[in-house]
Amino acid sequence: MTRDQIRQVILDILAKIAPDEDLSNLKDDVPFSEQMELDSMDFLDIVMELRKGYRIQIPEEDYQHLTTMESTVTYLEPLLKDVESPAKPAG
pLDDT of residue 85: 64
**Tens place of pLDDT for every residue, the chain, 91 residues?**
999 999 999 999 999 999 999 999 999 999 998 999 888 899 999 999 999 999 999 999 999 999 999 999 999 999 999 887 655 555 4
pLDDT of residue 17: 93
pLDDT of residue 66: 94
- pTM for the model stands at 0.87
Q: What is the DSSP string of 2-67?
A: -HHHHHHHHHHHHHHH-TTS--TT--TTS-HHHHS---HHHHHHHHHHHHHHH-----GGGGGGGS
Q: Please report, for the chain, the start and end positions of each structural domain, with discontinuous segments joined by +.
A: 3-80
Give the domain 3-80 fold. 1.10.1200
